[in-house]
Structures are given as structure tokens and as C-alpha cells.
Amino acid sequence: MKHVTIVVPDCRVNVNTIGGAYDILCRANEYWKQAGHPSLLTIEIAGFVPEVRSHNGYLSIRPADIRTIRHTDLVLIPAVLGGYEEAVQQNQELLDWIRLQYKCGAEVASMCSGGFLLAATGLLQNRACSIHWNKTEEFERMFPGITIATGKIITHENGIYTNGGAYSFLNLVLYLVEILFDRSVAIFCSKVFQIDVERITQSPFTIFQVQKEHDDELIRDAQTYIEEHLDTRISFEKLAVHLAVSRRNFDRRFIRATGNTPVEYLQRVKIEAAKKELERGRKTIFEVMMDVGYTDDKTFRDVFRKITGLSPADYRNRYNKERISV
């Protein structure tokens, strides 16, 4: 028998991640018992707070007192709804409890932005982790020593699990079901809860955020120039001269300000524009390619797949409104 604790932090949390994880694990255990096996899991929702409510106040959970749990085999940390620094400060007692459980042999998994609390325990040091694609900048600012496994839905290393975010926490729970039970139980749960069991990357869902939250005015000017000239061939040598800076210094400042090289930034801006065209328009892939400044079909497709994980045709088939409604 294994004991699972879904912790309830003292802050605003996504109660859906708590309830969703609880429902799937309970259903997996029931299916296991129906197949003639003894019960495998005891699942508790516990914390140092008497109650947690959803952000709109309609749902509430009354967790058990976590101080009564001496030992658990798996700790699940739910998603936190913003205010991450304050959440870390308010939950030091819970973070100590999680550290102690891991030291005593428990495994620990974070769902979506629960990764901020997991990182604050220190258990992610020297490990890669997943976090929602639109939380990476804030995560890197708070925890600069932790490597983000960009694009990954799930990471698993030495009993520590992290999840890329939003409702992909369901994929993490299925992953844990397969480890706790077996593949057949995970597949059963994927069918019952209608979860795509094969999702492994966030890339198709990522929306590129133009990285302008920095203080380098020269680089902001360069970013604006790139965004306004997507359909032309940009020479970064000439752009550096135009901005009165050496190419080497330009590259160094660009990376420091945005986290990307100028070429990487250009590619990501072009592909984001191409994605929007493929989602909403009736243009051919060739027309979209030309609109964003690519003239070589193979290069465009290779860069598109590298960034999104899908070919332009697959992306259009998945997200284009006209095709979806056919």
C-alpha cells in the first residue's frame, strides 16, 4: 500500500489540479481493485490550512491536517495562481515538510506553477524541470540556478517530477498512474478521462512572447526593426552598424537582454507570425512562408518543426478554424 499526499499550500491555488489528481488516482485504484488486486493507494488531501477556495469562491476543499501524516510515499504540489514570491514566504512550514518527506524516501511531483514551491524547497538544484511556457521568465528570475527543460511536458529525475503546466497536469497524473500501477491502468484512465496519453511537448501550444522587459533601449530598437521587417532579408551586420555598435557587442547585448541570439529571435518571431496566418487564414503554406520572409521551403519547414514540434501542414490541420469545422 502506498500513501499519496496532495498538499494544499497557504495561498491561491488551482483547485482543479487538486481535484483532478485526486479523481484520477482514485479511479485508477478502483480499476486496479476491480481487476482482482488489493488496493494499492491511500490518497489524502492535506495542508496546514483549514480550507482552500477556488479563485471565484465557488469551490472549496477542507484538507486534512498534514501534521498527522508522519510518512507518505508521493507528494503532489498543486498549481499556484500567481504571487509566487509571497507563496514561497507563506509556506515555509509546508516546504520544510516536503523536504523532510523526500529525505525519508518520498517522491515529489509539482503540477504546473506548483514548480515554484518545489523549486523553493531546494530539491530541483542540479536538475532540469518543466514549467508552463509563459512562466519561464519569472521562474528564471526567482531561481536562476535551475535549468528549465524547455518545451517538455514532464521531467522525472531521482524521484522528482515536474509538469509543464495548465491542464497538462493530467498528463503528469497519467504518467504517475503508469508508474504506480501499470500501462494498462494508465490507458484505461486516459480513455475514461479522455486525456491524450502521448502528449510529450508543450511546443505546439507555446505563444512566443516578445522579450522586451529589459532596460536596453538599443536592443528594443533592434527587436522593433526585426518585427517590422519580417518579409525582408535582415543583415545583422548592417543592423549593428545602423545602431552604431559592433556586431560582437550587439550579439552579446541581445542575448543578455532577451535570452536568444538575434538569429533565434528572428526565427521565433517569423514562426509566430506564420502560426497566426495558418490559424486564421486561407493562404497556402507557400504564401505564408513568403509572407514571413522565407524563400526556401525546406528551411522554413525545418525551422517551423524545430520550434513548434509540428510541420506547417500538421499545425494548420490542427488549428485552422476552416479545416476544423469541415
The CATH number linked to 122 is: 3.40.50.880
Q: Are residues 50 and 112 in the same domain?
A: yes
Q: Could you tell me if 25 and 174 lie in one domain?
A: yes
Report the alpha-carbon distance of residue 290 to residue 231 in Å, rounded: 7
Do 7 and 127 have their domain in common?
yes
| Percent of the chain topping pLDDT 70 | 92
The answer on 185 and 81 residing in a single domain is: yes
pLDDT > 90? residue 197: no
Counted domains in the chain: 2
CA-closest candidate to residue 177, choices 195, 204, 164, 157: 195
pLDDT of 167? 80
pLDDT band at 210; cut points 50, 70, 90: low
188 and 310 fall within a common domain: no
Q: Please, which residues have CB within 8 angstroms of residue 71's CB and are 6 or more apart in sequence? A: 3, 101, 104, 106
Q: What CATH number is attached to the domain comprising 271?
A: 1.10.10.60
3-state percent helix, strand, coil for the chain, nearest multiple of 5: 50, 15, 35
Of 138, 169, 203, which closes a domain? 203
Which domain does 18 fall in, by range? 2-203
Name residue, grid cell 521531467.
Answer: 155
Is residue 179 included in any domain, yes or no? yes
pLDDT reading at 324 higher than 50: no
My answer on whether 231 and 319 are in the same domain is yes
Radius of gyration of the chain (CA): 23
What is the reported pTM? Answer: 0.67
Q: How confident is the model at residue 201 (pLDDT cuts 50, 70, 90)?
A: low
- Note whether 146 and 234 are same-domain residues: no
* 127 and 247 assigned to the same domain: no
Residues 6+ apart with CB under 8 A from 240: 246, 247, 249, 250
Please return the burial class of 52, using the count of CB atoms within 10 Å of its CB with bins 0-12, 13-18 and 19+.
Answer: buried
Q: With cut-offs at 50, 70 and 90, classify the pLDDT of residue 200.
A: low
Question: Are residues 261 and 234 part of one domain?
Answer: yes
Q: Per the domain annotation, does 33 fall within a domain?
A: yes
